A and B are shown apart, each in its own frame.
Chain A
Amino acid sequence: MVGNRRTYPARGDRRVHITYRPETLREALSLMKESGKEKRVKPFAGGTDLMVRHRGWHGTTSGFPSDILFLDRIDELKCCGFYDKEYHIGAACTLAEVEQDDRAPSILKEAITLMAAPALRNRGTLAGNICNASPAGDTLPPLFILDARITLIRQGGSRTIPIEDFITGPGETVLGDDELLAEIRIPITEYTHLCYRKVGTRKANALSKLSFAALAGIEGGEIRDIRIALGAVAPRIVRDREIEASLQGKAFDEIDLRGTLEAYGKLICPIDDQRSTAAYRKQVALNLIENFITRDIREDIQSKE
């Protein structure tokens, strides 16, 4: 091949793909309807995962297996703000936009600030992180404890469902073939204690070994509300309302800490991979839960008494 410039084919299907970049939601939904069961069209928000997943050899076109629908020009998907006592985040809002919005829930902002780096946060979206449905998605534990709901929209209808029901497994969601994730809705939540921890190898650009989000509302020394979610320690985000209910209404000396940790231990079933080991993930996850209950909350309350 001396003297010939060899071009390598991109990975995946080699047919030329059509890209759509509509300005209205109506056009986008009509494309999704036509796309239908064959999944001919892939919605593309920030693309920070898709561009890596379908990356071609250097200098060649990215090897996408389908046509692409860019969402970045659709104004209806770019709104962030409060409506009906819920904070709404449009599917095309970037992580940086949410991070810089004073009205956004602080635990979500904290998680976003620890994600990737500024350049990726200027492109990546919350909607993409949700639809990717990775067990290690950093925004998912905060969204789970905030009881976020997801609005899915298709031509002629829409539905709003809890995020827990939206994600069914690693990379799997209930998003219909003709549907788009339009927005995320987060109700106002009152709490007295908040904790977010990301465990990774570096401060920036690290995929999580695991992540932890928790909040609690304490009144008169009793737990009024407590919510705990863990990422990257099971096929889905771990949040258990039964364990949380068993802690509610209790004073601190009434809590069965060992029983609580055992109950969480049964739900935490991590894997060994290139980022960490199952044993490390499980131990750290349990330590973070224990730390939240015994240090973050109890010591804080005792110091105020």
Chain B
Amino acid sequence: MKVRFSLNGKEISVDVDSLRRLLDVIREDLGLTAIKEGCGEGECGACSVLIDGKIVNSCLVPIAQVGGAQVLTPEGLKGTPRGKCIVDGFTEAGSVQCGFCTPGMLMAAEAILTKNPNPTEAEIREGLSGNLCRCTGYDMIVRGIEIAAEKGEGLW
């Protein structure tokens, strides 16, 4: 089945089985490997992408449902001023240890700040509740997003 959608701002068309997961199409067919498969059940958030501005687990999205949508992955996010600001916040706060959850955390950060450019700590934690990290204990990730919110005033 041919599916047309926008990936990181570029219109593309893929010809794949309609029930393949968006996660597999992005990683294997399109070669963008930032997002990871952690649990494959929508629990860990390592495969998070934004579809039409909303955060979703790409392991639970059949490619057929992406037709006509705008998909943003960490590769697309990092090229934008917002993405750079989040990456800088993460760097400054030391939000990365092993790095496996980081791409999903970046997407969650973008979703949190889009919803509310000045989130409270509780709102940040709620926004990260679907993204598991086994290294940091989350505090540095929360801090990274706070720094991004402070320094990125006007971006969101």
**Residues of chain A having any CB pair with chain B under 8 Å:** 16-17, 19, 21, 44, 47-48, 51-52, 55, 58-59, 61-62, 64, 68, 70, 72, 96, 116-120, 122-123, 203-205
Contact = CB atoms under 8 A, between A and B. Distances in A.
Most B CB atoms within 10 A — which of A47, A55, A62, A122? Answer: A122
Contact of B130 (A16, A64, A117): A117
A119 B48 contact: yes
A205 B40 contact: no
Nearest to A72: B65
B67 A123 contact: no
B42 to A, nearest CB: 5
Interface in B60-75: 60-62, 64-65, 67
Contacts of A19: 1, 18-19, 62, 64
A47 B21 CA distance: 12
Nearest to B21: A62
Given A51-B62, A61-B19, A64-B19, 14 more contacts: A19-B64, A21-B64, A21-B65, A51-B60, A52-B41, A52-B60, A62-B19, A96-B54, A118-B55, A118-B127, A119-B42, A122-B55, A123-B57, A204-B130
Contacts of A55: 40-41
Query: Size class of B's contact patch?
Result: 20 to 34
Interface string B49-61: 0000011110111
A205 B130 CA distance: 7
Contacts of A119: 42, 45, 48, 55-57, 108, 130
Contacts of B130: 116-120, 204-205
A96 to B, nearest CB: 7
Contacts of A47: 60-62, 65
Contacts of A123: 42, 56-57, 60-61
Contacts of B54: 96, 122
The DSSP consensus for interface residues of chain A is loop
24 contacts: A19-B18, A19-B62, A19-B64, A44-B62, A51-B60, A59-B28, A62-B20, A68-B18, A68-B19, A68-B62, A70-B64, A72-B65, A116-B130, A117-B131, A118-B130, A119-B55, A120-B42, A120-B57, A120-B130, A122-B54, A122-B56, A123-B60, A204-B130, A205-B43
Query: Which of A17, A21, A68, A118: most chain B CB closer than 10 A?
Result: A118
A119 B37 CA distance: 15
Contact of A48 (B42, B108, B129): B42
Nearest to B55: A119
A68 B18 CA distance: 10
B148 interface: no
Most A Cβ at <10 Å: residue of B42, B54, B57: B42
Given A62-B62, A203-B129, A205-B130, A17 B19 contact: yes
Contacts of A62: 19-21, 62
A269 B68 CA distance: 48
Nearest to A58: B37
B111 interface: yes
A117 B41 CA distance: 12
B19 to A, nearest CB: 5
Contacts of A96: 54
B111 A51 contact: no
Nearest to A202: B129
A122 B17 CA distance: 24
A122 B54 CA distance: 7
B73 to A, nearest CB: 14
Contacts of A203: 129
B110 interface: no
B129 A117 contact: yes
Contacts of B37: 58
B146 interface: no
Nearest to B129: A204
A215 B23 CA distance: 42
**Nearest 3 pairs of A and B residues by beta carbon:** A117-B130, A204-B129, A19-B18
Nearest to B40: A55
Contacts of B43: 205
Interface string B1-36: 100000000000000011111001000100000000
